[in-house]
Chain A
Amino acid sequence: MTKLSDWHIMGVLAIAGLGLPFLAPGLITQLSFLWLMVIFALTWDMLGGRMGYNSFGNILFFGIGCYAAAVVQRDAGLPYFEALALGLALGAVLAVAAALLFGAALLGIRGHYFAIGTLGLGITAAEVAAGWDYVGAGSGMALPLFPGALGQREFFFCFSLFAVAIVCFLFLRWLYGTRFGLALNAIRDDQDKADAMGLRTTPIKVFAWCIAAFFLSISGGLAANMIGFIDPRDVAFAGATFGVWMVLMAILGGKGTLWGPVLGAVVFHITQELFWTYLLGWQRVALGLLIVVIVVFFPQGIMGWIAERRAAREGAAS
């Protein structure tokens, strides 16, 4: 894919992102969640796809963003938007601090052990939040009311999440073009070799997780306000839904590719909404089957499948 066609796709997406809320106001919440899913898949893929560290704990940073925003908005005594901005900033600081702390501890372990360790991280966070009265314990937290006119709220959060998704995509696109991007791939392919070649692998890994934590916490603060209510297990630290979906979307689209996570998020989100609409009662079963189909038929994801087909065609032609 050339750079030019990259910008073409981005242009189409930008027009869709800016235009659809006006053209189809009924879909605005779906669209907001779609941008959230794109952020999930992109940030997960940085570790899972580019660096070879399959994290099941990224939901931690999303939850920290949710709670930081909610607490600041409740206690700061500031007007809505000032409180939201401060909450997002605090959430980002806390999430990055958590990534530094847990990254230093967990990124030293590899393979399945890292996956299991991070799984524990999300579950523990949910249990802590559910037992902590300061953040509403098991009954969760309600976010303050949006001050604007009726209907503006949806537009505001849809465009905010869209902006975060765009910034996240462009940032990662730039990052993967630097030596840092190559270093992530080197760690994925053979970390001992990367160490022995003089790469400072630990700071590289921790920094990558900090970047993911930053974008996830921002999206968490916005999503919490969009939903209006945070439950420790079902919204903030929703490991069984959001936490697993991020992995699935990245794998579905194609791990370690630029567009794979975006494509995976779009396909996954649309499929999932169709299941809800047309297979109500069976949507979880259908989702489970979808996961099986993804793993069996698209182990390299859609982008990987396309690349394979293209290589096969070129091989046949030459």
Chain B
Amino acid sequence: MSVMLEVREVTKRFGGVVANDRISLTVTQGEIAGLIGPNGSGKTTLFGCITGTLPVDGGEVYFEGQPISHLRAGPIARLGLLRTWQQTRIYGEMTCAENMAISAREAHGGLISLLKPVPAATRIRASDLLAFVGLHEKRDERGGRLSFGQQKLLEFAMALMNEPKLLLLDEPTAGINPTLINGLIDRLRRANAELGVTLLVIEHNMRVIMNLAHRITCLAHGEVLAEGTPDEIRDDARVLDAYLGVA
């Protein structure tokens, strides 16, 4: 399995605060990688640095061997590296079906290719993916009228519609009804296994991430604290210390 994403010594400062301090990590093609750490440890900032929404102050990010830290969010997305947001970002005034249609990969094209109606195949795929996340009944409802948890599911479906190679998910289970979390874990696994999407997941819910991830990186105070399999991370004294403040 080849390395899909390599973050090499990435540093990001906000004024005097070093949010990411020479962070290095890799994501291998086909895996589900986890990213954990206490609040303020720099996880979401790192997502911003990787996907081009935040300019990095040092280091480099390689996606499939190509340096991308100089690129903005749009070109990076077109390479097949996508993210979702912790607070969810969807198109609130558009229906779920429209949200899906404009998230299709073919919308990456130039103006000429945009001047066509949405193809039937795309509508069908959108419909299938909405069914996949359990929102098929809501397809004609405006995105903004969905509950927070449903919006998270819609955002996930929109990301899949874009056919990314690597998808960065920022707390996919936050705000989701606990009884639905198992279903979501299953869907993340299926997206990974059946659709071939490599995942890097930020998650605070330890039960979820320990179940889901093949490998976990733990950040604290903007630095990589530990890295390993879920079992190794669970037993790591430094990780426990970072979360609970006891050694």
B-contacting residues of A (Cβ < 8 Å)?
175, 177-180, 182-183, 185-186, 188-190, 192-201, 203-204, 207, 256
Contact = CB atoms under 8 A, between A and B. Distances in A.
Given A179-B106, A179-B116, 7 more contacts: A186-B102, A189-B90, A193-B85, A197-B77, A198-B107, A200-B110, A203-B111
Contacts of A196: 51, 53, 73-74, 77, 82-83, 89
Nearest to B161: A197
Category for how many chain B residues contact A: 35 or more
Question: What 8 A-B pairs are tightest by C-beta distance, nearest first?
Answer: A198-B77, A189-B91, A182-B102, A193-B89, A180-B114, A198-B108, A196-B73, A198-B78
B72 to A, nearest CB: 7
Contacts of A256: 93
A192 B93 contact: no
Nearest to A190: B89
A192 B89 contact: yes
B91 A193 contact: yes
B205 to A, nearest CB: 24
20 contacts: A179-B106, A179-B115, A179-B116, A180-B111, A180-B114, A185-B98, A189-B143, A190-B91, A190-B92, A192-B53, A193-B90, A193-B91, A194-B102, A196-B53, A196-B82, A196-B83, A197-B77, A198-B107, A198-B108, A204-B114
Interface string B196-218: 00000000000000000000000
Interface string B71-100: 011100110001101000111111000100
Contacts of B113: 179
A40 B116 CA distance: 25
A197 B93 contact: no
Given A197-B103, A204-B111, A182 B94 contact: yes
B162 interface: yes
